[in-house]
Amino acid sequence: MSAVGASEGSPLLAVRSLTKLFGSFAACNGIDLDIRPGEIHALLGENGAGKSTLVKMLFGVLSPTSGQILWKGEPVRIPSPGAARRLGIGMVFQHFSLFEALTVAENIALSLSPGISLSKVAEEASRLSHLYGLPLDPKAHVADLSVGERQRIEIVRALLQHPELIILDEPTSVLTPQEADRLFETLAKLKAEGRSVLYISHRLEEVQRICDRATVLRHGKVTGACDPRQETPASLARMMVGSDVASVTAAGTNTKGEVLLEANHLSVPARTPFAVTLKNVCLKVRGGEVLAIAGVAGNGQGELFDALSGEYPVAEASAVAIRGKAAGNLGITARRLMGAGFVPEERHGHAAVPSLPLSDNLVLARNQSDRKTFLAGGVLGIIKHAVVRIASKRISETMDVRKSGDDPAAGSLSGGNLQKYIVGRELDRQPAVLIVNQPTWGVDAGAASRIRQALVDLAKSGSAVLVISQDLDEIFEVATEIAVVSEGRLSDVYPAHDLTREKIGLLMGGMYGKTEGGEVAHAH
Amino acid sequence: MRIELEKRANPSTLFSILSPFLALALTVVAGGIMFALIGKSPVAALYSFFIEPLLDIWSLHEIAIKAAPLILIGAGLSVCYRSNNWNIGAEGQFIAGAIAGAIVPVVFHDWHSSLVLPLMLIFGMIGGALYAAIPAFLKAHMNTNEILTSLMLVYIAQLFLDWLVRGPWRSPDAYNFPVTRDFVPEAILPELISSGRANLGFAFAIIAAVGLWIMMRYTLKGFEITVLGQSERAGRFAGFSSKRMIWFSMLLSGALAGLAGISEVSGTIGKLQPIISPGYGFTAIIVAFLGRLNPLGIIAAGLFLALTYVGGEAVQLTLSVSDKVTRVFQGLLLFFVLSCDTLIQYKIRLVFSRFGQTTEGSAH
């Protein structure tokens, strides 16, 4: 655009010693950042590094405590997202703000100034979406669209404002590899037009692939500014984490035991209008195996977890079997007593109650499986707090959970440390079957590798582990077998070493079952 | 300049202790202003409202009598509220308990036996529990809002009681006054000590509150209540059923409200009449929150609100102000308690400009 030639050397957006304090905690501490016109700039960092706080300040959601933002060399104040848009900054959030019951055009119109007719919005939206290779039907209802398509709405919505800088917050975390490729093409097109992109991610591989420059944040400070193409993933990770990350040693070739977890033609109707129906899911996990279930978010992972954990039991007892015994109609407590352990995706308010101390959160998962140890007084069920606290301490030590105080509220722990505790809480029982949904979602690299190693070690000791994950890196690290879930159907189970990312990507797109599987093989 | 509420990293222990007292102080100040506005001396009014009742054996007994139903109901409600079930209809369950318990002395008025009183108390609890079972059923199986259903059932109970005492249960010896027969001596709740009117109801209240405190603090059931109240999903993960918790908490609070109802009728009034409660069921909601939903705190809060009833009567007599003063005080108190509780989770900051000094300086 016009700015390209004029300000070749000078940055489009510059940030000078920007600081944001929450109380006495500095979420961002003296950040310096330059974004040049026509570049894709990566903002790298672990969870809690201050990336979100920084971009929220750039987009006017938060106001900085001190420091300066310069737009085209001029100091500016950005009091609101509206002001950011008027300057020429657009943003695509990680969590979409879309109304599922409305159409694409209606959702876009909601973010524009009133008085623009819906047909004009639809026309402009479809023009832009074709221009940038983001096919989108303005009349479609959002509820019917895939996550990738929903993200396109957000991008088109941002593009309608003709921004010179677009901020994307972890855009690929919800996309299949193929969808991500399409997004990268769009970004390249935006770059070619001279627009700048601020690309937030913790996926080193894609940052190296598409970004011109990178700024790395850790604990609210800039720890590195570099050209990602000159760096190795290891050196980038070091900047992010501050130390070398232990690599996970995979389960490898250990002897396979008996089938410990089985789903037989498990079908579950959708509980809510926006839930996914599970169709005829069959799987078997033997002792010593780690079965990883890949898939894009919202394809039935949560529903599968609910059915396997017994939080929502199914009618047919035979649909789920744990250690050879039918368990489909049994609740989660009964399944725990059969030797299974569970780690749900959502930490706050599902796997743990944030306001309660860690020791209470231990009772949460093990109040019946460890009844003899943790409870006294028979039917009165008096909780032996002292015993529970000792067990809680043991778990924290085994899993290296870092916390303030002996028994702090679960909500005060960082995501990674709480997840280590939640996983450790199950491992401490040595469950014969462990079912984990998104084990390292939003967890820093150090904690993630600790958790993955623990899952692998559990399988090595003879247990059956089922991991539901969206993270392909993670899946290849831990899995001995891989299956893919798509629209509530589960693909065949493949040995991990037989699958490539491309093949998983195709399976994610819904090419499941034996015959299609064959075609996939031919296609390559 | 503007005022910002900033979330604290951890709930403040200081303010969770201080908040009720802060609320109390603010209530007294606001009450003083109110008395001044209606032309009464605030000091004298506050003295006869809050201090005088504490100096007299007779009024101490009155406080115990009024505190008993408040504590009984409030303790039951705390279990409800902790488990995220919003029973607002304790007043109705109180009346239902009173009616059910009164079946024995009203219908079988010739029966003299030491069984009468225990039966009445049991019937009272069953009556209150059954009346609370209606909103429990509607919430658990029809997904209705228990706040609305339990509240509306209050009016049904009040009108049903009114009809009973004017119609089928009206005493033949009462010259057409809308009251039932006086209860036989065996149906009267004995007094606690010989110095005054306070009856066994107060003992029930203390026993129930301490029992519930032990349950909440030490048992798995108490843990289940807390977890389900915080997050239904986490409760499901723990193997707890939120449906069963609806039943448990509603029936428990209903039974305690029913016990309060029959204790009040049997211990204090001695018969049924159209109005048997000055709003105990609603005031108990304030009691529950003022006591931080902790049964021991509820004992203290119940005693304090009983004082506002007795103090309200006192200022009515000594300063001839309306008895609505009591309601105003109770309302003020709840208002200040809830607003002071904000300080537990948040701190107040005065913000003088949007940007820090450095930016201000360099931008201009």
B236 touches chain A (CB under 8 A): yes
Task: Give the pLDDT mean for B325-352.
Answer: 83
**Which residues of chain B does A358 touch, with a Cβ-Cβ cutoff of 8 Å?**
none
Inter-chain contact B223–A23, Cβ cutoff 8 Å?
Answer: no
Which tops the pLDDT comparison, B75 or A232?
A: B75
Asked whether the beta carbons of B166 and B178 are under 8 A apart, the reply is: yes
pLDDT at A235 (0 to 100) = 79
Tell which of B5, B344, B359 to mutate to test the A interface (max A CBs under 10 Å): B359
Asked whether the beta carbons of B360 and A65 are under 8 A apart, the reply is: no
Three-class secondary structure of residue B39 per DSSP: coil
Q: Is A465 exposed, middle or buried (0-12, 13-18, 19+ CB in 10 A)?
A: buried
Please determine, for residue A66, whether its predicted confidence score (pLDDT) is greater than 80: yes
Please determine, for residue A123, whether its predicted confidence score (pLDDT) is greater than 50: yes
Considering only CB atoms, A63 lies closest to which of B223, B236, B354, namely B354
- Distance between CA B110 and CA B106 in Å, rounded? 9
Please determine, for residue A152, whether its predicted confidence score (pLDDT) is greater than 90: no
Residue B14 lies in a domain: no
Question: What residue in B sits closest to A386 (Cα-Cα)?
Answer: B218
Task: Give the pLDDT mean for B119-139.
Answer: 97
**Which residues of chain B does A353 touch, with a Cβ-Cβ cutoff of 8 Å?**
226-227, 230-231, 234
Q: What is the pTM of this model?
A: 0.77
Residue B21 lies in a domain: no
User: pLDDT-based confidence at A521, cuts 50/70/90?
Assistant: very low
Q: The tokens 């609320």 sit on which residue?
A: B23
Q: The tokens 């079912």 sit on which residue?
A: A435
Please determine, for residue B152, whether its predicted confidence score (pLDDT) is greater than 80: yes
Q: Quick one: tokens of B15?
A: 């303010």
Inter-chain contact A342–B230, Cβ cutoff 8 Å?
Answer: no
Residue B346 lies in a domain: no
- Distance between CA A408 and CA A412 in Å, rounded? 7
Asked whether the beta carbons of A176 and A504 are under 8 A apart, the reply is: no
Please determine, for residue A509, whether its predicted confidence score (pLDDT) is greater than 80: no
Residue B6 lies in a domain: no
**Which residues of chain B does A22 touch, with a Cβ-Cβ cutoff of 8 Å?**
6
Three-class secondary structure of residue A339 per DSSP: coil
Q: Quick one: tokens of A111?
A: 């973010």
Tell which of B217, B237, B347 to mutate to test the A interface (max A CBs under 10 Å): B237
Q: The tokens 């493949």 sit on which residue?
A: A494
The pLDDT tens digits for A382-412 are 999 999 999 999 999 999 888 878 899 898 8
Q: How many helices (H) and strands (E) does chain B have?
A: 14, 2
Please determine, for residue B355, whether its predicted confidence score (pLDDT) is greater than 50: no
What value of ipTM does the predicted structure carry? 0.82
The pLDDT tens digits for B252-292 are 999 999 999 999 999 999 999 999 999 999 999 999 988 88
DSSP code of residue A399: T
The pLDDT tens digits for A159-184 are 888 899 999 988 877 777 778 888 89
Q: Quick one: tokens of A436?
A: 């984990």
Question: What residue in B sits closest to A404 (Cα-Cα)?
Answer: B10
Inter-chain contact B219–A383, Cβ cutoff 8 Å?
Answer: yes
CA distance A358 to chain B (A): 13
Q: List the 340-359 stretch of B: residues with Cβ below 8 A of A.
A: 354-359
Question: What percent of chain B shows pLDDT beyond 90?
Answer: 62
**What is the average pLDDT value for chain A, to the nearest integer?**
85
Long-range CB contacts (within 8 A, 24+) of B202-206? B202/B64, B202/B65, B202/B67, B202/B68, B204/B68, B204/B72, B204/B259, B204/B263, B205/B67, B205/B68, B205/B69, B205/B70, B205/B71, B205/B72, B205/B75, B205/B260, B205/B299, B205/B302, B206/B71, B206/B299
- Distance between CA A218 and CA A15 in Å, rounded? 17
Residue B331 lies in a domain: no
Name which of A93-107, B43-57, B208-222 the model is least confident about: A93-107
Which residues fall within 8 angstroms of residue A136, CB to CB, at 6 or more apart?
A104, A125, A126, A129, A149, A152, A153, A156
User: pLDDT-based confidence at A131, cuts 50/70/90?
Assistant: confident
**Which residues of chain A does B353 touch, with a Cβ-Cβ cutoff of 8 Å?**
none
Q: Per CB distance under 8 Å, which residues of A are interface residues toward B?
A: 17, 19, 22-23, 25, 63-68, 75, 77, 79, 309, 311, 331-333, 336, 342, 344, 346, 349-356, 360, 363-365, 367-368, 375, 377, 380-383, 409, 412
pLDDT at A243 (0 to 100) = 65
Q: Which of A73-87, A271-285, B132-146, B176-190 has the highest mean pLDDT?
A: B132-146
DSSP code of residue A143: G
Task: Give the pLDDT mean for A68-89.
Answer: 89
Inter-chain contact B356–A65, Cβ cutoff 8 Å?
Answer: yes
Range of the domain at B96: 66-293
Residue B234 lies in a domain: yes
User: pLDDT-based confidence at B357, cuts 50/70/90?
Assistant: very low
Question: What residue in A sits closest to B214 (Cα-Cα)?
Answer: A382
Question: What percent of chain B shows pLDDT beyond 70?
Answer: 97
Residue B249 lies in a domain: yes
Q: What is the DSSP string of B161-219?
A: HHHHHHTTT--TTSTT-S--PPPPGGGSPPBSSTTSS-BHHHHHHHHHHHHHHHHHHHB
User: pLDDT-based confidence at A7, cuts 50/70/90?
Assistant: very low
**Which residues of chain B does A380 touch, with a Cβ-Cβ cutoff of 8 Å?**
219
User: pLDDT-based confidence at A219, cuts 50/70/90?
Assistant: confident
pLDDT at A105 (0 to 100) = 87
Count up the domains in chain B and report the number: 1
A469 phi/psi in degrees, rounded to 5? -150, 150
Q: The tokens 């303030």 sit on which residue?
A: A404
- Distance between CA A210 and CA A206 in Å, rounded? 6
Residues in chain A: 524
pLDDT at B330 (0 to 100) = 81
* Region of residue B336 (phi > 0: left; psi between -120 and 50: alpha; otherwise: beta): alpha
Nearest alpha-carbon partner for B95 in B291, B327, B282, B313: B282
Asked whether the beta carbons of A489 and A280 are under 8 A apart, the reply is: yes
- Distance between CA B94 and CA B64 in Å, rounded? 18
pLDDT at B325 (0 to 100) = 81
Nearest alpha-carbon partner for B24 in B308, B247, B357: B308
